[in-house]
Amino acid sequence: MESVIPTPDIFQAKKILCVQPHYDDNDIGAGGSLAKLHEAGAEIIYLTVTDDQMGVLDATLSHQAAAEQLKREQEQAGKIIGVSQQYWLGYPDAGQYDYYELRRNIIKFIHLLRPDLLFTPDPWLPYEAHRDHIQAGLATAEASILFALPRISSDPEMDATYQPHELLGVAFYFTQEPNTAVDISQTHEKKAQAVGCYQAQFTPEDMEMLLQILDAKERMFAEGRVYSHAEGLRVMHPLQLHCGL
């Protein structure tokens, strides 16, 4: 049964916090949409959950050198998309970390930044095997329904001064149940350029294959429409994320 709550319009958002498990997920999953939102006047902010160390291909790099390359590539890509701020939580990539601490940190950034829309991977994607994606998406979804509760705890100093604000919704990318198609015909090249910045974790051959797959999926989402490329998102109001409202 469909919800009686209307699907939020993501283009009403003025400040968007994008919570990603790894340094490239926002751009791979929704780079065209985020670039278009930036062009429409929204502020785009990235919060990256893990340190991404496991995916670095060059095993000779020190942890510090790898971290510097990852950050450099992410900032280059962010300039193309239009990202205004980047934050990192630094949890171990493909490692063990506490879900509730992650959720608390996401709530802390919601309190700090006061976004009116969240982006994150769909944690209910069938056959998603990467725990980082499930944890990041689920913690973000849960944070969206808990952040305004007066007794919720994130950072004591911040909690003491936080005044609740409205969150329009959560946009899930990497989803098989989209309810929103975003026309990215004018921004899919920006997305491809941004994704191309992520060289630490892709061979040239793998990057070429990834870009071909993304182009094919964007054309698939645009089938039957008047535009050539689209991204599919599952956009939901926070009230829809509890008790099937």
pLDDT digit of tens for each residue in the chain (245 aa)? 567 899 999 999 999 999 999 999 999 999 999 999 999 999 999 999 999 999 999 999 999 999 999 999 999 999 999 999 999 999 999 999 999 999 999 999 999 999 999 999 999 999 999 999 999 999 999 999 999 999 998 888 888 889 989 999 999 999 999 999 999 999 999 999 999 999 999 999 999 999 999 999 999 999 999 999 999 999 999 999 999 88
Does 146 fall in a domain?
yes
Does 3 fall in a domain?
no
Question: What CATH number does residue 137 fall under?
Answer: 3.40.50.10320
What is the tally of structural domains in the chain?
1
| Structural domain containing residue 219 | 10-241
Does 190 fall in a domain?
yes
Does 196 fall in a domain?
yes
Does 143 fall in a domain?
yes
Does 134 fall in a domain?
yes
Q: What is the 3-state secondary structure (H, E, C) of the chain?
A: CCCCCCCCCHHHCCEEEEEECCCCHHHHHHHHHHHHHHHCCCEEEEEEEECCHHHCCCCCCCHHHHHHHHHHHHHHHHHHHCEEEEEEEEECCCCCCCHHHHHHHHHHHHHHHCCCEEEEECCCCCCCCCHHHHHHHHHHHHHHHHCCCCCCCCCHHHHHHCCCCCCCEEEEECCCCCCEEEECCCCHHHHHHHHCCCCCCCCHHHHHHHHHHHHHHHHHHCCCCCCCCEEEEEEECHHHHCCCC
